[in-house]
């Protein structure tokens, strides 16, 4: 990563320039048996499409606040980075009634309806599948995102000192987020060859750091596990071996 990177979007651009083909996020859901592996390039493509959706179809602007009601999931990571690319401030588990936009999973739709602005719903089905029946009052992300452009350019450059993330009482600017990600990577002893298995929730800074930001800042990768408690006995060690895990956050 480059020392001059001051926003999460900068970190992703540096990762893409360094080695676009390496694995970045490998996602497991042990309730469904889903496994998805995204290279840096594939992840960046999803981020670009989502940022175009956010900036274009949803008319989001820097400084807007988005309530993110999603679990630890590869699509949650995509939305976080898309918001950072546009300059939208993300509130993890934020109050939809106080946000200009809300992004919800299938289990929080009733809560998300309190948002009077734009509402997006994710089915969180394997392979990014759509809802069998689109929820009333919501844009189905899986329907809308495939047609978006593969390259993204913000209408306004992202301000490193503007609010970027709020989680569990912690509020960070883009530059502060990058600094914390680097510090967390150092604390976890991550380097460019590190492969971190994380089963932590995205509703706290440690979970977000392990599940996205620290691997991104270090040039490493993450094996992101949801519903790990449903994994059979001995399954964790087998997974760690097969995925060449070097670090764990459980």
Angle between the 8-18 and 174-187 helix axes, to the nearest 10 degrees? Answer: 60
Q: Can you give the pLDDT at residue 2?
A: 79
Q: What is the pTM of this model?
A: 0.97
pLDDT of residue 3: 81
Q: For 236-245, what is each residue's pLDDT tens digit?
A: 999 999 999 9
Whether 24 contacts 43, CB under 8 Å: yes
Cα dihedral across residues 53, 57, 58, 64: positive or negative: positive
197's CB contacts (< 8 A; 6+ apart) are 222, 223, 225, 239, 240, 243, 245, 247, 248, 249, 250
Q: Return d(Cα 22, Cα 31) in angstroms, integer.
A: 27
Q: What domains sit in the chain, N to C, each tagged with a CATH number?
A: 8-249 (3.40.50.12780)
Model pLDDT for residues 58-87, shown as the tens digit of each residue? 999 999 999 999 999 999 999 999 999 999
Q: Report the distance separating Cα 23 and Cα 45, nearest Å.
A: 14
The reported pLDDT for the residue numbered 127 is 85
Q: Tens-digit pLDDT profile for the chain (250 aa)?
A: 678 899 999 999 999 999 999 999 999 999 999 999 999 999 999 999 999 999 999 999 999 999 999 999 999 999 999 999 999 999 999 999 999 999 999 999 999 999 999 999 999 999 899 999 989 999 999 999 999 999 999 999 999 999 999 999 999 999 999 999 999 999 999 999 999 999 999 999 999 999 999 999 999 999 999 999 999 999 999 999 999 999 999 9
State the pLDDT at residue 191.
Answer: 94
Place of tokens 């993300």: 90
Cβ atoms 220, 243 nearer than 8 A: no
pLDDT of residue 1: 65
pLDDT at residue 23, rounded to an integer:
96
Residue tagged 């493509």 (tokens): 45
Residue among 87, 82, 73 nearest 12 (CA):
82
SS3 content of the chain, % helix, strand, coil (to 5): 40, 20, 40
């Amino acid at each position: 990563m480059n020392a001059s990177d001051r926003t999460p979007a900068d970190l992703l651009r540096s990762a893409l320039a360094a080695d676009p083909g390496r694995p970045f996020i490998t996602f497991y859901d042990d309730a469904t048996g889903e496994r998805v592996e995204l290279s840096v390039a594939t992840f960046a493509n999803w981020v670009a499409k989502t940022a175009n959706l956010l900036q274009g179809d949803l008319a989001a602007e820097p400084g807007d606040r988005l309530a993110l009601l999603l679990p630890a999931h590869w699509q949650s990571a995509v939305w976080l980075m898309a918001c950072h690319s546009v300059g939208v401030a993300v509130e993890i588990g934020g109050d939809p009634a106080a946000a200009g936009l809300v992004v919800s999973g299938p289990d929080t739709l009733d809560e998300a309806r309190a948002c009077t602005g734009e509402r997006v719903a994710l089915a969180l089905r394997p392979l990014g599948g759509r809802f069998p029946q689109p929820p009333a009052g919501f844009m189905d992300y899986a329907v809308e995102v495939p047609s978006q452009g593969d390259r993204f350019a913000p209408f306004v450059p992202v301000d490193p000192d503007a609010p970027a993330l709020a989680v569990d009482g912690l509020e960070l600017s883009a530059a502060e987020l990058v600094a914390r990600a680097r510090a967390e990577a150092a604390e976890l002893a991550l380097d460019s060859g590190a492969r971190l298995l994380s089963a932590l929730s995205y509703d706290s800074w440690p979970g977000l750091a392990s599940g996205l930001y620290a691997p991104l800042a270090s040039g490493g990768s993450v094996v992101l596990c949801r519903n790990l408690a449903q994994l059979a006995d001995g399954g964790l060690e087998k997974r760690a071996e097969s995925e060449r895990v070097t670090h764990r956050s459980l």
